[in-house]
């Protein structure tokens, strides 16, 4: 029993020390030990009145409301480069992004087969001309034989009338004349066929020469290589695109406009185009409206020519602003809006004092912010960074 008393006394002492420490902590938090500390809700004096160094006005304007039709920047002209003949590609001299001038070599094909065809066509032309020369000689010989037979026939006819030639001699002369005439006709036909053969051979040579010219594919106009679709070793043939050329500098926006708004725009009209990546608004001219709507989206495809702009490239995202009506909007300078957590606040003059008003902010335009609610226009606002 005597051993348990010291242990009980020790526990009581520890409990008393804990209670005392807790009480001291509460007194400290209450400011007992720091009499100069300002407690919650206490103000050490009167704060000076708030006076902003810069103010501005909330302005109400009637502005045009727009529908944003999304679209893509594309070149005005896009050329699919194809081969006119079949052949294996030896070299592709350009890559995507390379600028090209009119007449620049783009793709080179294997020309061995085409050269062999041209050589064969030239040999055929030489043979056809040789046959034509022989036909000309045959016609000349036939003409001479016909002239002799005709002269002999006429002489025998004269003799026969004078009873100096017999009937047999007349018949023999007539037969020789008719044979010479048939020979001349046959020679003329041979010459006509030979001439046609020469003409056909010349055509084959011309076609082979043109085909050999297609061995090198050149740029039809100045531009920029948009895509490279072939590599050396590939087969080229008509209908297979090898490259895609785009006109440089001349770009347009192709956008989809809902069918309910298509009557609000007209050909030749100037419209604003917002290029987000470019951080600016461009003014373009409406040059084309596809006359039928897409049945899937119920929208019309429209094309707006854009001015030449540094840093504007095909494939960029753009928004076409289609006017849909007017609306009253209240604006304040961008510097007048303050963020307090997730809330928007504006400091507004109220008599000779200033007070904070929570507002709903909208879009930003030209250094101004649209106020959707909270202000009616005409209020004097303090610039952001200053608060009462």
Task: Identify the band that residue 28 occupies on the pLDDT scale cut at 50, 70 and 90.
Answer: low
Question: Residue 194: which of 126, 128, 142 has the closest Cα?
Answer: 128
pLDDT of residue 388: 47
pLDDT of residue 384: 65
Cα(109)–Cα(228) distance, rounded to whole angstroms?
16
pLDDT, mean over the chain: 85
Nearest 5°: phi and psi at 325? 160, -170
pLDDT of residue 387: 45
- pLDDT tens-digit profile of 272-296? 999 988 888 899 999 999 999 989 9
pLDDT of residue 212: 85
Averaged pLDDT for residues 293-311: 90
Tokens of 316: 């960029």
Of the chain, the percentage scoring pLDDT greater than 90 comes to 37
pLDDT of residue 204: 92
pLDDT of residue 165: 83
Averaged pLDDT for residues 337-364: 87
Say whether pLDDT at 1 is over 60. no
Sheet containing strand 223-228, strands side by side: 78-82, 241-246, 223-228, 99-100
- pLDDT tens-digit profile of 42-78? 444 444 566 777 888 888 988 888 899 999 998 887 8
Higher pLDDT, 204 or 44: 204
Residue tagged 């510097």 (tokens):
335
* DSSP run (H or E) holding 142: helix 112-161
pLDDT of residue 40: 44
Question: Any idea which of 45-54, 66-75, 146-155, 220-229 has the lowest mean pLDDT?
Answer: 45-54
Averaged pLDDT for residues 120-130: 92
Residues contacting residue 311 through CB under 8 Å, at least 6 positions apart: 278
Of the chain, the percentage scoring pLDDT greater than 70 comes to 87
pLDDT of residue 39: 46
pLDDT of residue 33: 55
Residue tagged 């003059």 (tokens):
349
């Amino acid at each position: 029993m005597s051993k348990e008393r010291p242990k009980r006394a020790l526990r009581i002492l520890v409990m008393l020390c804990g209670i005392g420490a807790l009480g001291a902590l509460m007194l400290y938090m209450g400011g007992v030990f720091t009499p100069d500390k300002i407690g919650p809700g206490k103000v050490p004096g009167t704060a000076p009145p708030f006076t902003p160094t810069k103010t501005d006005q909330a302005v109400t304007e009637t502005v045009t409301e727009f529908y944003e039709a999304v679209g893509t920047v594309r070149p005005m002209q896009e050329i699919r480069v194809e081969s006119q003949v079949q052949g294996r590609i030896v070299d592709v001299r350009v890559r995507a992004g390379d600028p090209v001038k009119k007449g620049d070599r783009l793709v080179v094909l294997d020309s061995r087969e085409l050269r062999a065809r041209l050589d064969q066509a030239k040999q055929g032309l030489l043979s056809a001309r040789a046959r034509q020369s022989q036909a000309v000689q045959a016609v000349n010989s036939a003409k001479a034989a016909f002239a002799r037979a005709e002269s002999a026939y006429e002489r025998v006819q004269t003799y026969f009338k004078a009873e100096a030639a017999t009937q047999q001699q007349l018949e023999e002369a007539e037969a020789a004349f008719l044979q010479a005439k048939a020979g001349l006709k046959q020679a003329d036909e041979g010459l006509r066929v030979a001439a046609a053969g020469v003409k056909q051979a010349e055509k084959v040579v011309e076609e082979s020469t043109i085909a050999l010219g297609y061995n090198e594919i050149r740029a039809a106009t100045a531009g920029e290589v948009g895509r490279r679709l072939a590599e050396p070793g590939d087969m080229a043939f008509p209908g297979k695109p090898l490259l895609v050329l785009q006109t440089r500098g001349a770009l347009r926006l192709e956008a989809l406009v809902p069918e309910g708004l298509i009557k609000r725009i007209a050909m030749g009209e100037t419209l604003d185009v917002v290029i987000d990546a470019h951080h600016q608004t461009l003014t373009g001219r409406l040059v084309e409206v596809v006359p039928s709507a897409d049945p899937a989206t119920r929208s019309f495809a429209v094309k707006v020519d854009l001015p030449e702009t540094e840093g504007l490239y095909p494939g960029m995202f753009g928004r076409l602003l289609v006017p849909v009506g007017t609306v009253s909007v209240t604006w304040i300078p961008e510097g007048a809006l303050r963020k307090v957590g997730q809330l928007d606040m504006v400091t507004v003059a109220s008599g000779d004092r200033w007070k904070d008003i929570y507002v709903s902010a909208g879009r930003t335009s030209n250094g101004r912010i649209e106020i959707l609610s909270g202000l009616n226009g005409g209020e004097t606002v303090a610039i952001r960074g200053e608060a009462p």
